[in-house]
Amino acid sequence: MLTPIGFAILIIAILVYSLGKLVGFPSEWEWFDLILATVGIAMAMTGVFQSIAGRARLIAYFKLAAKDNQRELDILLKNPPVGERWGKFGVDRNSIQSLEISLRLLKANTKDILQSIIHAKILDHADGVWKNRITLPPTSSIGAAISVAFWDFTQETAMLLGDAQRDNYPLEKGQYQLILDFQINGESRFWPMNFVVGADADSIMWVLPNPDREDYRIR
C-alpha cells in the first residue's frame, strides 16, 4: 500500500534512474536535496489528494417506507467514506459540518407553488433525534433521513409534512414536484424530484429519473 511519501519516492526514483542513465547519477549533496524534495512533494501531494478526493459528499436514496399501516416517502442520506484507491494515499472523507434541508411543493409540469419553504426535520441516526440541522460524518451506512409525505389512514388522503409554522398539507390525486434545497455547509444544492398520489395508500410513490438507480449524488 503506497502512502503519499512512498508514491513520491517511487516517482523520484524512476526520474533519477532515468536521468542517471542519460546524464549521470547525483552527487552526495544532490541526493540530500532530492530527499528534501521528496518529503516536500509528498506533503504537497497529501493536501492535493485530500482536497480533491476527501471533499464531503451527500448521497440521497429516495425510498417508500411501506409497512403495515405506514406509507411514507422518505429520503435517506449518507456521506460515504472514500474508496480503497484514495484510502491508500491517506485520504479521509471530510464530515458535513452543517446540513439543513428545506423544500417547496409545486404542481408537476407547472410553476404553481402549492407550499413554499418548508423546513424539514432531519432524523440524525447518530442519536435518533429529529433536528433542524445536523452534522454528517462519513459512514458506510445511512446517517440521516427526512420524511416528506405520508398517507393519512384516518383521513384517507396523502399529506405533505409541515413544519413549525405550517400544518400538514393535504394532497389531491395527481403528480407533484418537490424542489429540495440541501444546504451543505452553507452552500445550497437544489434537487427536483417528482412523486405521485393516487386514490389509496398503495398509490403514493416517487417518480425516479432512473428507476434502475438507487443512489443520487447531491454533492
b/e 140-164 (16+ beta carbons within 10 angstroms → b) = eeebbbbbbbbbeeeeebbbbbebe
Q: Sign of the CA dihedral 24, 25, 28, 32?
A: positive
User: What is the residue type of 157?
Assistant: T
Tell me whether strands 157-160 and 187-197 are parallel, antiparallel or unpaired: unpaired
More confident residue, 183 or 219: 183
pTM of the complete model = 0.78
Residues 64 and 49 in one domain: no
pLDDT in tens, 27-54: 555 555 555 556 555 555 566 665 667 7
User: Is residue 111 pLDDT above 60, yes or no?
Assistant: yes
DSSP characters over 97-129 = EEEEEEEEEEETTS--EEEEEEE--EEETTTTE
Residues 43 and 79 in one domain: no
Identify the pLDDT of residue 68: 79
Task: Name the pLDDT band for 74 (thresholds 50, 70, 90).
Answer: very high
Identify the pLDDT of residue 206: 96
Residues 71 and 42 in one domain: no
- What is d(CA 177, CA 203) in angstroms, rounded to the nearest whole number? 16
Beta bridge partners of 196: 175, 205
Residues 96 and 23 in one domain: no
Enumerate residues 6+ apart whose C-beta is below 8 A from 158.
Answer: 149, 150, 151, 152, 170, 171, 197, 204
Identify the pLDDT of residue 91: 78
pLDDT in tens, 183-208: 999 999 999 999 999 999 999 999 99
Task: Confirm if 122 and 130 have CB atoms less than 8 A apart.
Answer: yes
- What is d(CA 102, CA 96) in angstroms, rounded to the nearest whole number? 17
Residues 47 and 66 in one domain: no
Residues 12 and 97 in one domain: no
User: Is residue 125 pLDDT above 90, yes or no?
Assistant: yes
> Can you give the residue range of the structural domain that contains 13?
4-53
Q: In the predicted model, what is the mean pLDDT of the chain?
A: 84
pLDDT in tens, 145-169: 999 999 999 999 999 999 988 999 9
Residues 190 and 208 in one domain: yes
Residues 20 and 100 in one domain: no
Query: What does the block give as the cell for 153?
Result: 389512514
Residues 173 and 203 in one domain: yes
Residues 148 and 68 in one domain: yes
User: Is residue 175 pLDDT above 90, yes or no?
Assistant: yes
Residues 45 and 72 in one domain: no
Q: How many domains does the chain have?
A: 2
Q: Mean pLDDT throughout 83-90?
A: 68
Residues 155 and 95 in one domain: yes
